[in-house]
Structure 1
Amino acid sequence: MRNYLAIDAGGTSTRAVLLTSSGRCLGYGTAGGGNPVSRGFEGAMEALLNASKIALGSTLQPFTTVTVGMAGASLDLPADLFQQRFRVLGLTGKVMIESDLLAAFYSGNYQDDGYVLIAGTGAVAARVVGGQLSAVADGTGWLLGDNGSGFWLGHEVIRAVAAALDGRGVPTSLTELVLTDLGISQDVTSRTQGRIRAQQQLIVKTYELRPIELSRFAPLVFAVPQDAVAREIIARCAAALAQTLAAVVEASVSGPLIFGGSVLTKGGAVGAAVRERLGRAGISTGPISNPLESEPTLVADGVVGAAVLALKRNGETVDAAVFERITTSLATLRNN
Structure 2
Amino acid sequence: MVSSTGAVGCSVTTSAILLIAAGMARRRSAIRRAIVSPLPMSRVRGTIASNFFRGSGREFSSGDLRCNENYSHATKTSNRTTSQMNHEPLLVGVDAGGTSTRAVLTDPSGRCLGYGVGGRGNPISAGPERAAAGVLDAIRGALEPTGHGLADVSVIVPAMAGMRASGGSDWLMQRLAPAGFGGTLRFESDLLATYFSGAAAPVGYALVSGTGACVIRVQDGRIVDTGDGLGWLLGDRGSGFWIGHAIARAAVQDLDGTGPATALTDRVLAHYELERTDVRTDGRLQELEELIGRLYGHPPIELAGLTPYAFDVEDAVARGILMTAGEQLADTLSAVLDRPGPVVVGGSVLARSGPVRDAFVARLGADGDGLDLRPVSDGAVGAAVLAVRAAGGIPDDAVLARLTDTVSAFR
Q: Scaled by the length of structure 2, what TM-score is found?
A: 0.75
Q: 1:273 aligns with which of 330, 335, 359?
A: 359
Q: 1:246 maps to what in 2?
A: 334
Q: Which runs of 5+ in 1 are unaligned?
A: 287-291
Q: Which residue of 1 aligns with 2:144?
A: 57
Instruction: Give the structure 2 partner of residue 263 of structure 1.
Output: 349
Pair 1:304-2:381 in alignment: yes
CA distance in 2, matches of 1:267, 1:180: 26
Could you say if the C-alpha distance between residues 64 and 166 of structure 1 is closer, same or farther in structure 2, counting changes exceeding 3 Å?
same
Q: CA deviation at 1:323?
A: 1.5
By how many angstroms is 1:36 displaced?
Answer: 0.8
Tell me how far apart the structure 2 counterparts of residues 266 and 180 of structure 1 sit (CA, whole Å): 25
Point out the structure with max Rg over C-alpha. 2
Identity %: 44
State how many pairs are aligned.
Answer: 321
Distance 1:16 1:101 in 2: 16
Classify 1:130/1:259 alpha carbon distance in 2 versus 1 (closer, same or farther; 3 Å). Answer: same
Q: What residue number does 2:130 align with? A: 43
Whether 1:146 aligns to 2:146 is: no
Q: Who is 2:323 aligned against? A: 235
| Pairing 1:4-23 to 2, within 5 Å after superposition | 4-23=91-110
Provide the secondary structure at the position in 1 that maps to 2:391. coil
2:94 is paired with a residue whose SS is strand
CA contact (8 A) 1:35 1:70 kept: yes
Task: Decide which of 27, 33, 39 is 2:120's aligned counterpart.
Answer: 33
Which residue matches 1:179?
A: 269
- Determine whether 1:333 maps to 2:410: yes
Query: Cα offset for 1:83?
Result: 2.9
CA deviations 1:12-53 (Å, max 9, x no partner) are 110001111111111111111111110111111111011111
- Following the alignment from structure 1 to structure 2, what is the Cα–Cα distance between the partners of residues 75 and 208? 27
Change (3 A) 1:76 1:191: closer
In structure 1, give the amino acid aligned to 2:119: G
User: Residue 212 of structure 1 aligns to which amino acid in structure 2?
Assistant: I
Aligned ranges 1:190-205 → 2 under 5 Å: 190-205=279-294
Change (3 A) 1:75 1:305: farther
Does the Cα contact within 8 Å between 1:275 and 1:285 map onto a contact in 2? Answer: no
- Quote how far apart the aligned CAs of 1:73 are: 4.4
Determine the C-alpha separation between the residues in 2 that align with 1:260 and 1:207. 29
Q: Which has the higher helix share?
A: 2
Q: What is the rounded CA distance, in whole Å, between the counterparts of 2:361 and 2:219 in structure 1? A: 22
Q: 2:226 aligns with which of 120, 136, 139?
A: 136
Aligned-residue CA RMSD in angstroms? 1.6
For residue 176 of structure 1, report the CA deviation from its aligned partner: 1.0
In the alignment, residue 107 of structure 1 is paired with which amino acid? Answer: S
Structure 2: give runs of 5+ residues left out of the alignment. 1-87
Residue in 2 that maps onto 1:289: none
Amino acid at match of 1:153: I
| Separation in structure 1 between the aligned mates of residue 378 and residue 129 of structure 2, nearest angstrom | 23
| TM-score calculated relative to the size of structure 1 | 0.91
